[in-house]
Amino acid sequence: MVFDELLNKDALSVQDIVFLLQCKGDEEKKLFAKSESVKKRHVDNIVYLRGLIEFSNLCRKDCNYCGIRKSNLNIDRFNLTDNDILQAAEFAFKNRFGSIVLQSGEIQSLAFTKRVVKLLDKILKLSNGQLRITLSCGEQSRDTFRQWLEHGATRYLLRIETSNEDLYYKIHPHDKFHSFEERVEALNNLKLLGYQTGTGVMIGLPYQTYEDLANDLLWIKKMDVDMVGMGPYLEHSGTPLYKFKSNLMPQTERFQLSLKMIAILRIIMKDINIASATSLQAIDKMGREKAIKIGANVLMPNITPGMYRNSYKLYDNKPCTDENPEDCKSCLEWRVSITNNIIAYGGYGDSQHHSHKRGSTLRKI
């Protein structure tokens, strides 16, 4: 089949996607031109900002890739005060970011659930309900998800990391804290409760094949999520997967493959929100902007107070850890403008996919 026909097919098969993931040169350019036009048509050249607040690196889990895993004793553990978190939220509100993401390691306790409830109440109050709040605090019980929703969180990010269950257990310990089944169940609970639900995968993991990545994209589509964040896997010296460092695809290839994953995702899920992951920027200084150009429409500037950023290193060479939020803002505007996109200041950027789904459910009833 000619390449152009493949790009215009209604439904892509695993083999089609594997082929697209391996394309190079002119074909790669065509893929990116196609995803760019799908983006323009369906979500426009508009970028929504989410102020990212990494409020604690305490974590009960031991993911084999992650720098803040429980067994890594070589990092300072921190937990921002409520005041620090509220100040960061206020910064986002005053600078018209439209939304924030509260992200942390995974803690499951009554105290943690209540703390987040209290923070949600206070953030909604300080912003007169004009900041959308996304949570990214790992797997939680359905009841905890419900409480947070009732207190104003409307979006939740929980990456599946890989949709291949065997690979899942190679990159996570196989124990009661790390269950593929429970992760999927948590995602389904989020969807059922009505959250705008986000997931995503890492790209270029040890053992991962092109078929795995193609299946990831089809899995994400089947899950019918509203938001996706995905980026290259980056090694961290304090983790078990570090030993595979020399067997991995070079970082520049992982980067290019991530762009192709984003482009294909935009083509197969036209109206979802796609975040441009920070890990793209760790490999290429203009990495996030390149992703915006070919399909992503969400940027998550880190607004965590500077002194804590060094301790939230999920991978080595994490960018921007020594800048303050103000610095990040001005350089961001310039970066977005050169991709022919504009920042929607004050725009919530709710997932169109989510409202389209709701619309069709209402119509059916």
Residues that bind ligand 5AD (CB under 6 A): 65-66, 159, 161, 202, 233-234, 236, 279, 314-315
Candidate list 34, 61, 115, 318; residue touching ligand FES; CB under 6 A: 61
CB of 256 to ligand FES, least distance (A): 26
CB of 168 to ligand FES, least distance (A): 12
Pick between residue 6 and residue 303 the one whose CB is nearest to ligand 5AD.
Answer: 303
Question: Which tokens sit at 305?
Answer: 């107070």
The C-alpha atoms of residue 207 and residue 170 are separated, in whole angstroms, by: 8
The C-alpha atoms of residue 270 and residue 188 are separated, in whole angstroms, by: 21
Candidate list 38, 66, 116, 294; residue touching ligand FES; CB under 6 A: 66
The C-alpha atoms of residue 231 and residue 319 are separated, in whole angstroms, by: 14
Candidate list 7, 68, 153, 267; residue touching ligand FES; CB under 6 A: 68
Query: Which amino acid, residue 55?
Result: F
Binding mask 130-149 for ligand FES (x = CB under 6 A): --------x-----------
Q: Is 198 in the site for ligand FES (CB under 6 A)?
A: no
Choose the stretch contacting ligand FES; rule: CB under 6 A; options: 15-23, 62-70, 250-258, 293-301. 62-70
Which does residue 315 touch among ligand FES, ligand 5AD, none (CB within 5 to 8 A, set by kind)?
ligand 5AD
DSSP H stretches of helix in the chain: 3-7, 14-21, 25-42, 82-94, 110-126, 142-150, 165-171, 180-193, 210-223, 251-268, 278-283, 287-294, 306-309, 325-337, 352-364
Pick between residue 176 and residue 364 the one whose CB is nearest to ligand FES.
Answer: 176
The C-alpha atoms of residue 87 and residue 82 are separated, in whole angstroms, by: 9
Task: Report which of 119, 50, 108, 125 is spatially closest to residue 85, judged by C-alpha positions.
Answer: 119
Nearest-5° Cα angle at 83, 82 to 89: 90
Candidate list 36, 54, 106, 350; residue touching ligand FES; CB under 6 A: 106
Cβ atoms of 272 and 225 within 8 Å: the answer is: yes
Binding mask 218-247 for ligand FES (x = CB under 6 A): ------------------------------
DSSP H stretches of helix in 65-203: 82-94, 110-126, 142-150, 165-171, 180-193
Candidate list 48, 56, 93, 105; residue touching ligand FES; CB under 6 A: 105
Which does residue 59 touch among ligand FES, ligand 5AD, none (CB within 5 to 8 A, set by kind)?
ligand FES
Which does residue 314 touch among ligand 5AD, ligand FES, none (CB within 5 to 8 A, set by kind)?
ligand 5AD
Which does residue 160 touch among ligand FES, ligand 5AD, none (CB within 5 to 8 A, set by kind)?
none
Q: Is 69 in the site for ligand FES (CB under 6 A)?
A: yes
Candidate list 63, 102, 277, 283; residue touching ligand FES; CB under 6 A: 63
CB of 264 to ligand 5AD, least distance (A): 18
Q: Locate tokens 């850890």: which residue?
A: 321
Residue closest to ligand FES (Cβ)? 63
Task: Report which of 138, 92, 91 is spatially closest to residue 113, judged by C-alpha positions.
Answer: 138
The C-alpha atoms of residue 52 and residue 297 are separated, in whole angstroms, by: 15
The C-alpha atoms of residue 220 and residue 218 are separated, in whole angstroms, by: 5
The residues, ordered by sequence, that sit 6+ positions from 322 with a Cβ below 8 Å of its Cβ are 306, 309, 310
Which does residue 6 touch among ligand FES, ligand 5AD, none (CB within 5 to 8 A, set by kind)?
none
The C-alpha atoms of residue 146 and residue 153 are separated, in whole angstroms, by: 9
Question: Which tokens sit at 288?
Answer: 């996030």
Pick between residue 229 and residue 349 the one whose CB is nearest to ligand 5AD.
Answer: 229
Q: Locate tokens 């910064």: which residue?
A: 91
Choose the stretch contacting ligand FES; rule: CB under 6 A; options: 66-74, 225-233, 253-261, 321-329. 66-74
The C-alpha atoms of residue 169 and residue 30 are separated, in whole angstroms, by: 36
The C-alpha atoms of residue 164 and residue 205 are separated, in whole angstroms, by: 12
Residues that bind ligand FES (CB under 6 A): 59, 61, 63, 66, 68-69, 105-106, 138
